[in-house]
Amino acid sequence: MTYATWHTRKEKREIEQRGGTPLAKYGTDGILNGHPVEVRCCRKDDRFRIDKDTQKAMVAGKGTYIFVNSDGKEKSLPAKEVSQKLGNGHWFKDRDYPHKFLRKKEIFE
């Protein structure tokens, strides 16, 4: 199974387990309690990638991130708190979209 397939299944399962609705479109992963939800997983890496445009939409919509680490531990954080952890520094541009990373230890302290 590819990482993309694994991640998509994981997103859907995490959102549905919490009573939310997964979305099959570009943008946030789903809706939970009327707000956007984004599932971020790391399977081999020790960091989570946060997309700049998605982060803006998550903050504006008062969304929540669900982080799942390689050990299966889960933690939910409001998008506003994720912004505080990301700080004001440089966004990486080595892909088609600007992004930053949060390390597992920054989430699961």
6-40: per-residue pLDDT in tens? 668 888 899 999 999 998 777 789 999 999 999 99
3-state secondary structure the chain: CCHHHHHHHHHHHHHHHCCCEECCCCCCCEEECCEEEEEEECCCCCEEEEEHHHHHHHHHCCCEEEEECCCCCEEEEEHHHHHHHHCCCCCECCCCCCEEEEEHHHHCC
> Is the pLDDT reported for residue 100 higher than 90?
yes
pLDDT in tens, 60-85: 999 999 999 888 889 999 999 999 99
- pLDDT number for residue 95: 79
Give dist(CA 79, CA 1) in Å, integer: 30
Question: Beta strand 35-41 with 64-68: parallel, antiparallel or unpaired?
Answer: parallel
What architecture is domain 3-107? 3-Layer(aba) Sandwich (3.40)
> What is the pTM assigned to this prediction?
0.88
